[in-house]
Amino acid sequence: MIVVISDDATDLQIERFISDMNAREITAKAIHGDNKRVFGLVGDTSSLDAENMMRNEAVEKVMKVTAPYKLAGRSFHGDDSVVELTKGGPKIGGGAFAVAAGPCSVETEEQILSIAMDVKRSGAALLRGGAFKPRSSPYSFQGLGLDGLELLKIARQKTGLGIVTEIMSSEYLDVFEKDVDVIQVGARNMQNFTLLRELGRLGKPVLLKRGPSSTIDELLMAADYILMAGKSSVILCERGIRTFETATRNTLDISAVPVLKKRSHLPVMVDPSHGTGYWDLVYPMSLAAAAAGADGLIIEVHDRPARALCDGQQSITPALFDNMMGKIKKVRDAIS
């Protein structure tokens, strides 16, 4: 529900209204309005009667929110959210465009440093790299773990790029809180609600990837789990969904970008690498995502894709990435 406060309501009356909601285990979240004081009610509001609430001395109007998500939706937050990716550094959302680039998996110090330097020269805002790798096969390369995270930190120190990497479970929450700039929740964990709640308490930007069989509403409800704690910000990521089509690894849902931008205030990134599974499709789908209004991209870049330990078939070279970044700028200039 959304509650509009009466113009002549006193501070004491408003405090009593908020206390009454808290007693019902409902949080009254302030919404920034131009002329009115407005609150969004977060929690189980099924027992609240709109007509009865209108009898409250502080209340002028009550409106029901029919969407199953609240905090991620535009009803509670009309303006686009802007997320600071690193303290005092690049931003995403509200017109700010950001690209994260790097290898699917961290392999060696030489590899991650070389790629980090290349993607920074081309204009990347973040270095992406998997330290912990969730793989469908238990026999595939699982990542270097904490050693991989240490290599990412070295690359950050030497290049100044913030790092985004995937968390697998709550086991390393304290490490990610201390060492990672943007915490990625992979598609397999999109509905790991316990993990999402814990991430919401860290106060870090969270890159939330859409599950392979998840609807847009389910993605936005998952974002609410993170936002409910009121500390962490969320960046949504479309990374392809599972359909009957076999020509690509997944079906990259470009239409999800404008749909999400219409329904939510949160920044939207697109992952064309996992979304297509083929390096030669990453370039055109990146341009398509930019044209559709995405706020950013996350791209797999490897200096020697044929020798990559993970997903080399969908990784582009630093040279192709550099060329693509120039074209993306032209696309964004054309639609602005």
Strand, helix or coil for residue 155: helix
* Within-domain flag for 76: no
Q: Provide the pLDDT for residue 86.
A: 95
Strand 234-238 to 206-209 pairing:
parallel
Q: What is the DSSP letter of 164?
A: E
* Within-domain flag for 75: no
Phi, psi dihedrals of residue 224, rounded to the nearest 5°: -60, -35
Q: Which two tokens stand for residue 79?
A: 């303006």
Pair 67, 73: CB distance under 8 Å: yes
Strand, helix or coil for residue 183: strand
Indicate if 43 and 105 belong to the same structural domain.
no
Indicate if 171 and 241 belong to the same structural domain.
yes
Indicate if 144 and 191 belong to the same structural domain.
yes
Q: What is the DSSP letter of 312?
A: G
Pair 314, 130: CB distance under 8 Å: no
Maximum CA pair distance of the chain? 69
Q: Which two tokens stand for residue 260?
A: 């999400």
Indicate if 91 and 56 belong to the same structural domain.
no
Q: What is the DSSP string of 220-288?
A: HHHHHHHHTTSS--EEEEE--B--S--SSSSB--TTHHHHHHHHB-S-EEE-HHHHH--HHHHHHHHHH
> pLDDT tens, 5-59?
999 999 999 999 999 999 998 888 887 666 778 888 888 888 888 888 988 999 9
> pLDDT tens, 287-319?
999 999 999 999 999 999 999 988 899 999 999
The residue out of 12, 32, 63 marking a domain boundary is 63
* Within-domain flag for 275: yes
The residue to which tokens 């479309």 are assigned = 238
Query: Domain with 140 in it: what CATH number?
Result: 3.20.20.70
Report how far apart, in Å, the C-alpha atoms of 282 and of each of 158, 263, 318 are.
28, 26, 13
Strand 182-185 to 162-167 pairing:
parallel
Angle at 133 between CA 168 and CA 271, to 5 degrees: 90
- Tell which residue, 48, 70, 63, 45, has the closest CA to residue 5: 63
- Tell which residue, 91, 59, 9, 71, has the closest CA to residue 264: 71
Indicate if 9 and 116 belong to the same structural domain.
no
Query: Domain with 27 in it: what CATH number?
Result: 3.30.70.1140
pTM for this prediction: 0.89
Angle at 317 between CA 255 and CA 331, to 5 degrees: 40
The boundaries of the domain holding residue 19 are 2-63
Q: Provide the pLDDT for residue 33.
A: 60
For the chain, how many structural domains are there in total?
2
* Within-domain flag for 311: yes
Indicate if 39 and 161 belong to the same structural domain.
no
Indicate if 39 and 180 belong to the same structural domain.
no
Indicate if 254 and 313 belong to the same structural domain.
yes
Q: Alpha-carbon distance 182 to 36, whole Å? A: 35
Q: Provide the pLDDT for residue 1.
A: 86
* Within-domain flag for 70: no
Indicate if 187 and 302 belong to the same structural domain.
yes
Phi, psi dihedrals of residue 98, rounded to the nearest 5°: -140, 145
Residues of the chain with pLDDT under 70: 32-34, 133-143
The residue out of 63, 92, 115 marking a domain boundary is 63
Indicate if 213 and 253 belong to the same structural domain.
yes
Indicate if 40 and 132 belong to the same structural domain.
no
* Within-domain flag for 78: no
Indicate if 220 and 100 belong to the same structural domain.
yes
